[in-house]
Amino acid sequence: MATSSAPTPVKLFIENFMLNKAQTLKPRLIELRRTIHRNPELGFDVFKTADLVARTLGELGVECQTGVGKTGVVGYIGDGDGPGPVVAIRADMDALPILEANEVEYKSQNPGKMHACGHDAHTTMLLGVATLLAKEKLPGQIRLIFQPSEEIADDEGISGAPRMIDDGAMKGVDAVIALHVDGSLDAGQISVDAGKVSGTVDTFRARIIGKGGHGAHPELANDPIWLTTQVLNAMYAVPSRRIDPFQPSVLSLGVVQGGAASNVIPHEIYVEGTLRSMDDTVREQLIGEVSHCLEIARALGGDYKLEIERGYPSMINDAGVVDTIQQAGIDLLGENGLGKSKRTLGAEDFAFMTRLVPGAMFSLGTKEPGGEPRYVHTPDWDIDEDALPVGTAMLAETALRLLKAK
């Protein structure tokens, strides 16, 4: 008699238990997400959001620590001092300086601030994990890291993840996971890949200095606008002519400022741009190439001042952690629940955590099936809230499997 490879009813019940349990939380998850969405906060100033997180954890009986990494919150489920492993789950809490265009009842109540990158959903789903696992007897500890300021750095150029690391949020952690919403992927799907999946990011700021003068007598000046055009031509050629074509790299100018009148040659021009790559060696090469390009100004009789602000490293998804996420995805969502993964030169400060311990971030689909994609960092960003229980279940199930595997 031929045997069937189809899962048994008992196996299906076990595999879908976590998802079914998360589905019962859907009304509460929607309520939390909309509350956070109405009250967006920027950077490290996430005081109300952090307070909501701490109060919710307290109501669940989950021990938590506040003021970690300035305004972060860390929750602890299980024993972190025993022989068992520690698995961390991270969610970011901050919003963006964007005026929301959506006309919905949960629209931002803080004009000029908006949860346009899904961090309201990330925070909500991690609170959902706390709800699912608060009473579980665990073979170790699950640590819930609610992080401020993923989008921007503080006055010292440091963002939320390294601030929380410095305050001990990752101490003793054996593995770490996170998710990010994806408005191009259907709700009910996830995607994940191993290796380098997001880019490094560094910012350069330069003043190209010439000699000002009257527009009618350029021969008596050293026009910094002309100097800048030579420098920018060289900069734009860097990715295609100076970097290995098999290595992804981007050099983009975002700011070019200078001058105040049509008949006045200014003294200097200010330029600012971003550097992106996947590889650490290419990252250093890009920084060096910016300096080389600016030397053109000196060769033409001008000068320059350069400042480099180092940002996030590339994010590396550990192959073993990715395997666990993928298998959890198949078991909870079926084979069709795994979508096509995409790499990006966008940056994510979760990379600081995956550089410390094995970890991975997966993408969670939030697009209404059959609907148009929505993209983060735009004023009409929104999600299909059917994704909230899916992300909650995926985080909880993956964390439990990592605990048992360690």
The pair of three-digit structure tokens given for residue 350, joined into one six-digit string: 């979760």
| Three-state DSSP class for residue 364 | strand
Question: Quick one: the chain helix, strand, coil %, rounded to 5?
Answer: 35, 25, 40
Are the C-beta atoms of residues 278 and 200 closer than 8 Å to each other? yes
User: What are the tens digits of pLDDT across the range 161-189?
Assistant: 999 999 999 999 999 999 999 999 999 89
Sign of CA dihedral 324, 181, 395, 333: negative
Tell me the two tokens of residue 98.
Answer: 């964007």
pTM for this model (two decimals): 0.92
Cα separation, 400 vs 402, whole angstroms? 5
CATH for the 9-199+315-405 domain, from 3.30.450.20, 3.40.630.10, 3.40.1190.20, 3.40.630.30: 3.40.630.10
Query: 80 pLDDT band (50/70/90 cuts)?
Result: confident
Known active-site residue 103? no
d(CA 366, CA 130): 21
CATH code linked to domain 201-310? 3.30.70.360
158: Cα separation from own chain's centroid: 14
The CA distance from 237 to 243, in Å, is 9
Measured between alpha carbons, how far is 319 from 172 in angstroms, rounded to an integer? 21
Question: Residue 323 in 3-state DSSP?
Answer: helix
pLDDT tens digits for range 242-301:
999 999 999 999 999 999 999 999 999 999 999 999 999 999 999 999 999 999 999 999
Which segments of the chain belong to CATH 3.40.630.10? 9-199+315-405
Residue 385 designated active-site: yes
The predicted-structure confidence for 390-406, as pLDDT tens digits, reads as follows 999 999 999 999 999 87
Task: Write down the catalytic residue from 312, 348, 368, 397.
Answer: 312
Q: Which of 76, 270, 272, 385 is catalytic?
A: 385
- CATH 3.30.70.360 region(s) of the chain? 201-310
Q: What is the mean pLDDT of residues 195-221?
A: 98
The distance between the two most distant Cα atoms of the chain, rounded to a whole number of Å, is 96
Q: Across residues 98-104, what is the average pLDDT? A: 98
